[in-house]
Structure formats: structure tokens, C-alpha cells
Amino acid sequence: MHPSVNPDFATELLAPAGFDDDKYTRGTVGFVTGSEKYPGAALLGINSAYELGIGMVRYLGPQSVSNLVLSNRPETVLGLERAAALVLGSGIADDDGGEQVANLSAAVSLGLPMVIDAGAMQLVDLGSVKSPSIITPHHAEAVRLLNKLGEDWTKDEIANDAEEAATTLAEKTGLAVLLKANVSHLAIPGFEPIQSGPGSTHLATAGTGDVLAGMIGTLMAKAAAKNIELTLGSIAEIALIANQLHSEAAEWAAERGQFGASAVCDAISSVVAG
């Protein structure tokens, strides 16, 4: 693995719709995100999917969050049918005892490639995940996950050796890992980890992780629609593309005096077009 984006792969994933495209050939991504406590996370991830030109977004979640999503993005379809990749967990707390726990279990049982974010990293049995998937912890989430996996790490230790922490998570889970920070570390089992960043400092605000998870899942779904095999390697490369676009969108927005996760999300299509 090399810490640079393959420009041909990025161009293929980000290409505008052609004359022969329809909503299905543009990809379908499913979300099990948001909760009664954090409803906005669902909308941030879903908006990022539309900014990347996805063909269809599917959503599964509480009625109140579904209502929020549909009132803002009425083109969203409820349920996970036809989804080629899933985004799980953004805006769902580790201790969530609501219906999203059952929804996460149902989503995992579909056997689709997944982005496993936020509370889903604790609520999903990662050992049961058989599809090529990626987890996206920040440092505090990585501490909790490593401890759950029987590894004794502190947040300071992860900050001092994020590369080793990402490698350990990849080996322990068998999944791709994007350990998020200003300099993020990307790892898959059996390969040397790589760095991505430093990223935009304007990403240090609530909700930007929800946007990034949505971007990764959307590009996975777009790849699947193009008959690109989703392996841990291709998912890692997709995560690298998304992470760089995410940072560039934050910079683009800030240069225009726009800040916050919604501004980052709104800038994605402008960065892609550029």
C-alpha cells in the first residue's frame, strides 16, 4: 500500500453521470445512523452521499429521525433494499438501548461491505462481520475498542504510536481501519499502515466524522455499481480518497468564511468538480 491516491481510480469513482446512467448505475448506499439523541448525524452522512452524486440513498432508523431525513431530503428511500454498501453507527451512542441496536443487527446480517462508525464499533460484534468492511474510530473510540479486544492502551499511548494502534486494531478485527486524527492512520491486516494528512484544522468540529463516514460508504457503493470488487485493499484506497476530499472540502469552505460540518458537507461537490 502506498500513501497516494491512484488518480485513475479516484477519477473513475468521482466521474459525473453519463448519458447511459440511471439511479441504479450510480450506486445505492444504505444508512443505519442517527438516534433520538443525535438525529443530525443521519442527515450529515446522507447529505454527503448526495454531494458525491450517489444514485440512491436508503435509510433505516427511528421514526423521528426518518421524518427529519425525509423533510430535508425527500428523495431518500426508507429501508435497506438494493444497498450495495452500508454506513452504520454515526450518531448512535455506545450505550444506545433503542431500536437502532436491532437495526444494526439486521444490517450486519445482510452481509454487505460496511463502514462501521461511532457506537456501532461497540454495539456490533466485529468478529461476526464477514464482509470486507472498515472501522473509523477517533482516538477515544480506539481506546474503548482496543480495551474491549483485550489490549491495554491509553489515549496518550495511541497519540504517541497511532501507527501501531491502527495495526493492532486491523489485526484484531480483520477489518480495514481508519484511525482518525489530524494525521490519520490507515491499516489493513498484513500490510504496513499508511498516513493520511495532516488534514484541515477546520475539521475539529462536531459532526465532521459523520460526513466522512458517509463519504466512504458512498464511494464504496459507487465502486460496487461500477463492478469494482470491494476488498479490504480497495476499501482502504477509497477511505484514503474520501479522507483527502474531506479535508479539501473543509479548506474550501473555510476560505469562503463557512465553518462547521454542514459547511464541509456542502463543499464536497465543489471540490469534486474542481
| pLDDT tens column, 240-261 | 999 999 999 999 999 999 999 9
Closest CA to 38 of 102, 134, 117: 117
Rounded-to-integer distance, Cα 230 and Cα 68, Å: 31
Q: Residue 259 falls within a domain, yes or no?
A: yes
Residue 100's beta-bridge partner residues? Answer: none
Q: Quick one: pLDDT band at residue 5, thresholds 50, 70, 90? A: low
Domain for residue 38, yes or no?
A: yes
Nearest to 84 by CA among 269, 241, 229: 229
Owner of C-alpha cell 441496536: 101
Q: For residue 79, count other CB atoms closer than 10 A to its CB.
A: 10
Cα–Cα dist 139/158, whole Å: 7
Query: How confident is residue 4, by pLDDT bands cut at 50, 70 and 90?
Result: low
- Cis status of the peptide bond prior to 198, with omega within 30 of 0: yes
Task: For residue range 139-182, list pLDDT tens digits in order.
Answer: 999 999 999 999 999 999 999 999 999 999 999 999 999 999 99
Q: What is the pLDDT of residue 98?
A: 78
Answer yes or no: is 256 within a domain. Answer: yes
CATH number at residue 196: 3.40.1190.20
Average pLDDT, the chain: 95
Model confidence over 26-63: pLDDT tens digits? Answer: 999 999 999 999 999 999 999 999 999 999 999 999 99
- How many other CB atoms sit within 10 Å of the CB of residue 14? 16
Contact 48, 268 (CB under 8 A): yes
* 210 sits in which H/E element: helix 208-225
Residue of 108 and 99 predicted with greater confidence: 108
Q: Which pLDDT band, with edges at 50, 70 and 90, does 82 fall under?
A: very high
Question: pLDDT at residue 1 above 60?
Answer: no
Number of domains in the chain: 1
Tell me the HSE value of 140 on the side-chain side, using a 13 A CA sphere. Answer: 3
Residue 9 lies in a domain: no
Q: At what angle do helices 7-14 and 232-255 cross, to 10 degrees?
A: 70
Residue 55, in any domain of the structure:
yes
Give the predicted TM-score (pTM) of the model.
0.96
Does residue 3 lie within any of the structural domains?
A: no
Average pLDDT over residues 14-20: 92
- Higher-scoring residue by pLDDT: 274, 174: 174
Type of residue at 86: L
Residue 109 above 50 pLDDT?
Answer: yes
Residue 1 lies in a domain: no
Please report the beta strands in the chain, taking only residues with DSSP state E, as ranges in sequence order: 28-32, 56-59, 77-78, 85-88, 114-116, 134-135, 176-179, 184-187, 194-196
C-alpha cell belonging to residue 139: 482516538
Predicted confidence (pLDDT) at residue 201 exceeds the cutoff of 70 = yes
| Residue 7 lies inside a defined structural domain of this protein | no
Mean of pLDDT values over 196-200:
95
User: Which domain range does residue 135 map to?
Assistant: 14-268
Residue 98 or residue 138, greater confidence? 138
Q: What angle do helix axes 40-51 and 261-273 make, rounded to 10 degrees?
A: 10
